[in-house]
Every structure is written in C-alpha cells, then in structure tokens.
C-alpha cells in the first residue's frame, strides 16, 4: 500500500513540512476573522470564573449556528455538562481544554489518509458531487499532489455535459503534465471512463482520476447514471473504482451532510473532500459529517490555488478553529 501518512501527535508541524504548516496557518485566518468565533469573549460570561449554564448555552448556540448540527452539538455539550457536574472544569482554560478534547474525539476517527494500492494499478478514483462543489478543481489539485509523491497519473473527462468541463480538466492536465482522456461533448460518461481505465492499464498508470458531471443528489435518474459508470469500471477491474471520492462544498452547511448521506447510500462513498472552507463556512459541518457518517475525510480546500489543498489533520484543524498556536 502507498499512503500519505500523517502523525497524530498534538504538534503536527513537527513533521517539518513547511508547506503543510503554512496551509493550516492560512486555515486559522480563514476560519476566524479575528478571534476564534467559537471561544471569543467567553471569559466575560463567567461569573467569578465559574463555569455555569450560561457559558454552556452560549457554546451550544455558537456550535449550532456554525453548522455543527443539533445532534453533534448535543454530543459535545452533554460531555461538557457531565464534567461540570463532576466539578472537573474549574476555569475557562479547563473548559477550553475539555472542548478541544471533545472536538478531537469526533474528528480523529476520520483521519484515514488516502492509500494508493500499487498492486491495483491503475488505482481508479471516481470523483463525484453536486454542481459547483469543486470536483474538477479538486481533481487538478489532487493530481498535482499525487505526482509530487512520484505517481504516474491520468485524468478521465467524464463530465461530458458541461460545456467547459473538458476544457477545464485539460488545462489542469497541461498544468500538471498528465494525460487527459476525453471524447466529444455529449458522449456517454461511462464509455469515457471505461476507455480511460483501459488506456491507463495499457500505459501502466498508477492512478486514474475520473471526473463526473455534477449530480443533484435528489435526482434519481442522474444518480443511476453514476451507478452505471461505477459498474462499467468494474468490467475492467472488478475492484474498481478503488475509491469513490465525494467532493462537498463546506459552505452548504447541513445540506452538505444530506448530500453525503444520499451519495453514500447510492454509491458507497469511501472518502470525502471538503472544499471552500475559506468562504462563509465556519467549519462546523466537518464535525457533523464526522460524527454522523464516520466517513474518512481525505482532504480539505481553503482557496483556488494548488497550495490551498491539503490532507485533513484533525489536530491542526481543531487548533485552527480554536485559534490555538501550533
């Protein structure tokens, strides 16, 4: 197995990866405009420094309005209330430490980096999601990352309906110096991906990244077409696709959670990419998805440039949210 391994220690920058450290520094800035939205000004709510219901109710409100969701918020707050009842939280610092621990407990199980199985070459990744989530851009950024790890990559232009989709993918292909397999506009997406997988096998490609047209998760006929693509891939390799990577727009909030549920039911999602965490999103949806679906979060994106894309690291993410220094 080939994988992108991450440490789980509380100081992820000790890996010596300056680029990764810089990424999460930018993430802190983009999740929080100034102080941490989650913990800002909580000290003013503490009567005589004691933790009481007023503080916990305020935390609850902030979590829910940041798209963490009621169910996941209750999970976090129930644990904090139990600790208050046992008098384990003496002051604000103890509360924030307990909050950090709770958030990490939710996210740590999702830290399962994408592992490329060399023996499966071509390792086929089917990239899916709704319109506007950022699938094609994600494919371009992921292709760049895979190449940096010494892998031979090919792209399949399976989005044959959107006029600019093939052109956009070809631009990413040229930028990363990787081959793009495409057909005429309106071609059968399953046929495009089938041909690409065969070509990748013949050319001894390590990883095939297959783009697909945006699918509204509520339109069953379009979801059926994705199922067809998946079936056709299995004709070339019965294990393909080896990864079904769902791209979600983090700014969609709880709607992104619903998308994840329905795509998972239809296709068996094996990994998630969360994009647009630099927008209006506060990052709360990450916890909702982790808590309720337990699907691996492979990568997150915080901008348009290739450098604004990185493997998901729970410790760095939570510390960025709480505005903690690395």
Ordered mean pLDDT values, 10 residues apiece, the chain (326 residues): 43 50 79 68 66 87 89 94 90 89 96 91 96 92 94 95 86 95 90 97 97 74 89 95 96 90 94 87 87 95 87 92 70
User: Which residues have C-beta within 8 Å of that of residue 103, sequence separation ≥ 6?
Assistant: 76, 287, 318, 321
Q: d(Cα 268, Cα 5) in Å, to the nearest integer?
A: 24
Q: d(Cα 168, Cα 134) in Å, to the nearest integer?
A: 12
What was the pLDDT predicted at 241? 97
Q: How many CA atoms lie within 13 A of 149 on its CB side?
A: 17
Q: d(Cα 32, Cα 19) in Å, to the nearest integer?
A: 20
- Letter string b/e over residues 296-324, b meaning 16 or more CB atoms within 10 A of that residue's CB: bbbbbbbbeebebbbbbbbbbbbbbbbbb
In degrees and rounded to multiples of 5, residue 156 shows phi and psi of -120, 125
> In the β-sheet with 271-275, what is the strand arrangement from edge to edge?
179-181, 153-156, 207-210, 123-128, 243-249, 271-275, 297-301, 309-311
Length of the chain: 326
Number of H helices, E strands in the chain: 11, 10
User: Which residues have C-beta within 8 Å of that of residue 150, sequence separation ≥ 6?
Assistant: none
Q: For the CA atoms of the chain, what is the radius of gyration?
A: 21
The pairing of strands 179-181 and 115-116 is unpaired
Tell me the pTM. 0.89
Q: d(Cα 217, Cα 44) in Å, to the nearest integer?
A: 44
Q: d(Cα 320, Cα 326) in Å, to the nearest integer?
A: 8
What was the pLDDT predicted at 90? 83
What was the pLDDT predicted at 296? 97
């Amino acid at each position: 197995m080939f994988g992108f391994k991450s440490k789980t220690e509380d100081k992820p920058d000790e890996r010596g990866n300056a680029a990764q450290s810089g990424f999460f520094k930018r993430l802190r800035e983009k999740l929080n405009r100034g102080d941490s939205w989650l913990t800002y000004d909580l000290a003013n709510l503490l009567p005589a420094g004691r933790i009481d219901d007023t503080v916990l109710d305020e935390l609850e409100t902030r979590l829910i309005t940041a798209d963490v969701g009621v169910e996941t918020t209750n999970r976090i707050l129930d644990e904090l209330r139990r600790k208050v009842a046992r008098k384990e939280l003496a002051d604000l610092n103890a509360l924030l430490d307990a909050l950090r621990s709770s958030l990490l407990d939710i996210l740590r199980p999702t830290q399962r980096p994408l592992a490329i199985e060399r023996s499966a070459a071509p390792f086929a990744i089917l990239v899916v999601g709704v319109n506007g989530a950022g699938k094609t851009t994600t494919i371009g950024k992921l292709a760049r990352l895979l190449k940096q790890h010494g892998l031979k990559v090919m792209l399949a232009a399976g989005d044959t309906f959107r006029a600019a989709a093939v052109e956009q993918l070809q631009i990413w292909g040229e930028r990363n110096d990787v081959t793009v397999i495409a057909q005429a506009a309106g071609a059968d997406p399953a046929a495009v991906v089938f041909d690409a997988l065969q070509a990748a096998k013949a050319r001894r490609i390590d990883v095939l990244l297959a783009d697909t047209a945006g699918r509204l998760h509520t339109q069953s006929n379009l979801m059926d077409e994705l199922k067809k693509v998946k079936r056709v891939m299995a004709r070339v390799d019965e294990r393909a696709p080896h990864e079904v990577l769902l791209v979600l727009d983090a700014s969609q909030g709880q709607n992104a959670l619903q998308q994840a549920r329905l795509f998972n039911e239809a296709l068996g999602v094996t990994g998630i990419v969360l994009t647009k965490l630099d927008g209006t999103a506060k990052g709360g949806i990450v916890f909702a998805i982790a808590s309720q679906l337990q699907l691996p979060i492979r990568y997150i994106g915080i901008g348009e440039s290739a450098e604004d894309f990185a493997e998901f690291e729970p410790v760095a993410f939570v510390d960025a949210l709480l505005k903690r220094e690395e």
